[in-house]
Amino acid sequence: MKRVHLLRYEGQPAALEALFAAVRAEGLRAGWLQVDPERREEGPVGDAVEAGAFRAAAVAPGRVASVKRVAGPPVLRDLLREHFLGCALVVVRPGQAEDGLQADLAEVPILEPVGESLRVRPRGQAALDLSPAQVAARLHRPHPWG
């Protein structure tokens, strides 16, 4: 499995539109992982899983939404392998993560929009102020923030 670079982000995905476009321009893929242990999917897809279905999906032009029943707490490595195969970057909105997942996310650099730029704060290192294109270009490196 190719290395997936992670960035922690507390805002809304729409604010990262320029970053997602820059990642696509580099020929790479980006993903979004929302961690929210209290959220329940609304509508028939979520209802089907709550009723006992192992997996349920909703399909619309240009998108598919899937809900799957899992046993036990989420494991970051498993989530990345199953849902983000082929992504060079996954932006994680941590919310109130489970204890094990929270420990995994503690080492993930923080992403903050600053005007037209993005600030990446790797743990224990100086912050980097980069354009979305610079962030995307660094995703080709094994250690883009170091």
Task: Tell me which of 18, 50, 71 is where a domain ends.
Answer: 71
Contacts of 7 (CB under 8 A, 6+ apart): 89, 90, 91, 92, 108, 109, 110, 111, 120
Quick check: 137 pLDDT over 90?
A: yes
Are 62 and 126 in a shared domain? Answer: no
Are 93 and 128 in a shared domain? Answer: yes
pTM of the model: 0.88
Q: Per the structure, how many domains does the chain have?
A: 2
Domain that holds residue 65: 39-71
Are 30 and 43 in a shared domain? Answer: no
Are 121 and 132 in a shared domain? Answer: yes
Q: What is the pLDDT of residues 50-93, one digit of tens each?
A: 898 999 999 999 988 888 888 888 888 989 999 999 999 999 99
Are 1 and 61 in a shared domain? Answer: no
* pLDDT at position 41: 66
Q: What is the pLDDT of residues 20-49, one digit of tens each?
A: 999 999 999 999 998 876 666 678 888 898
